[in-house]
Amino acid sequence: MSAQSSAAVPARPASATAGKKKSLLATTAGNILEWYEWSAYAVFAPFIAAAMFNPDDPVSALLSTLAVFAVGFLMRPLGGIVFGRVADRRGRKFVLITTMLMMAGGSLVIGLMPSYETVGVWASVILLAARIGQGFAHGGESATANTYIAEIAPNHRRGMWGSIVFVAIFAGSILAYTVGGSVTAVLGESAVAEWGWRIPFILGAFLALAALYLRKGMMESEVFDAAAGAGADAAPPLPRRQIVRAIILMIAMTSGITAAHYTWTSYASTYAITQQDMPAASAYWVTVVAQLIALISLPFWGRLSDSVGRRPLMLGFAALMILLQLPLMGLISSDPWTLLVASSLALVVVAIPGALLSATLSENFPTKVRTQGIGFAYSISVAVFGGTAPYLNAQLIEWNVGWMSSVYIMILCGCTAVAVWMMPETKGIDLKDA
């Protein structure tokens, strides 16, 4: 913000700052639970495969389960567009409450639905429908949460505040793996396969009620209120080609980030269990530790970006992942320490751009179409390159060319680097002027 505009803006009262922090807490709590419900599916994929698909072909069942995982992601762009438009018209708070309810409902359906043994192929259909609904809601949730937190953050701390979005992503995944490890340790794998895999989904649905209570007390984004109050004619419309360029750059930028993220959070443990014969409980707990290490690093990366800028850190991520992807995946064996070392290193690297995503995405779109732009670009990239990553990894390994999945991630990280190189540096800009 310029010196002139800074002088024109009165000091913000303590009550307003407190309200923002309370809203940040509410958003984060709900986001953690939504990511927990989303991640629980990947955590329990081997057990869901046995319960909801034909058990006579375990490999096909696992691939089918991961395909449903991918289909849920393919619904995210539609959810991002629809809810993004609603958020840009009716406000961020309304969408964050609505998507919370939809995610909880889908989780409850998954937890209570009948198995393949009971209703045959209808079990697979119900599972698919639930994941489609969750994917639709998740697209809107992700776009709106990224927008909302960036808009309520101080300009000079947007990177650090925005890192909370990815903190919630990791925290939700850690919670899912913690529940997975606990349920497996207490019940044993046979009981988990029979009925215990339902516990995390039912638990998530009921925990969502507490998050919903917190979100009802959230404030609306002042950036949104200012844009809505100014009216449609307050500023000249942004050229369409500029918005299209921003969308293309954001899709390319996010491609390597999301492919690496979902490979190391959603598939690495499944690979260790199904391909390297690592005990499921060990794989779950190791993944919890690795994600916790990455989570701790997130605010540091966000704060560093507020000092040195978004571009240097994004380029650093791309270079590191290109160098490390193949050797880290090749390190994983049946020994839990190998998964711990590989996942910890990979996820700390993934945390670099993860911490910056909320700020970077929001700083590249104008307020009136910010959530729509993020919803479309981010969801498309996550659906195409992230949601398909576990399925692609499993399929390439089945074809005995598993190394190709790492090369694929390296190529996408190259796309991330090119996109970032073409982007302007945006740290510290005033979103009200965007």
Average pLDDT over residues 74-79: 83
Q: Got the DSSP string for 149-164?
A: HHHHS-GGGHHHHHHH
Q: What is the pLDDT of residue 55?
A: 65
Whether residue 277 contacts residue 296, with contact meaning beta carbons closer than 8 Å, is answered with no
Print the SS3 string covering 371-388.
HHHHHHHHHHHHHHHHCC
Q: Which of 38-42, 77-81, 258-262 has the lowest mean pLDDT?
A: 38-42
Answer yes or no: is 295 within a domain.
yes
Task: Using alpha carbons, select from 70, 77, 221 the residue that is nearest to residue 143.
Answer: 77
Please indicate whether residue 310 or residue 387 has the higher confidence score (pLDDT).
310
Q: What is the pLDDT of residue 204?
A: 86
Domain of residue 80 covers: 18-225+239-433
Answer yes or no: is 231 within a domain.
no
Answer yes or no: is 67 within a domain.
yes
- Residue 222, pLDDT > 70, answer yes
Q: Which of 39-53, 55-69, 262-276, 398-412 has the lowest mean pLDDT?
A: 55-69
Q: Residue 347 sits in a domain of what CATH number?
A: 1.20.1250.20
Answer yes or no: is 2 within a domain.
no
HSE, side-chain direction, 13 A CA sphere, residue 156:
4
Answer yes or no: is 28 within a domain.
yes
Please indicate whether residue 127 or residue 413 has the higher confidence score (pLDDT).
413
Answer yes or no: is 346 within a domain.
yes
Answer yes or no: is 362 within a domain.
yes
Cα–Cα–Cα angle for 43, 374, 16, rounded to 5 degrees: 95
Answer yes or no: is 6 within a domain.
no
Q: Got the DSSP string for 384-419?
A: IIITTHHHHHHHHHHTT-THHHHHHHHHHHHHHHHH
Q: Residue 128, Cβ neighbours under 10 Å: how many?
A: 16
- For the chain, the domain total comes to 1
Q: Residue 232, Cβ neighbours under 10 Å: how many?
A: 9
Q: What is the pLDDT of residue 2?
A: 37
Average pLDDT over residues 186-197: 85
- Residue 137, pLDDT > 70, answer yes
Q: Which of 64-73, 108-117, 329-338 has the lowest mean pLDDT?
A: 64-73
Please give the Cα distance from 216 to 30 (Å, whole number).
11
Average pLDDT over residues 83-111: 88
Q: What is the pLDDT of residues 54-63, one digit of tens each?
A: 666 676 676 6
Please indicate whether residue 26 or residue 13 has the higher confidence score (pLDDT).
26
- Residue 355, pLDDT > 80, answer yes
b/e per residue 271-308 (b: at least 16 CB within 10 A): bbbbbeebebbbbbbbbbbbbbbbbebbbebbebbbee
pTM value > 0.85: no
Please indicate whether residue 111 or residue 348 has the higher confidence score (pLDDT).
348
Question: Predicted confidence band at 6 (pLDDT cuts at 50, 70, 90)?
Answer: very low
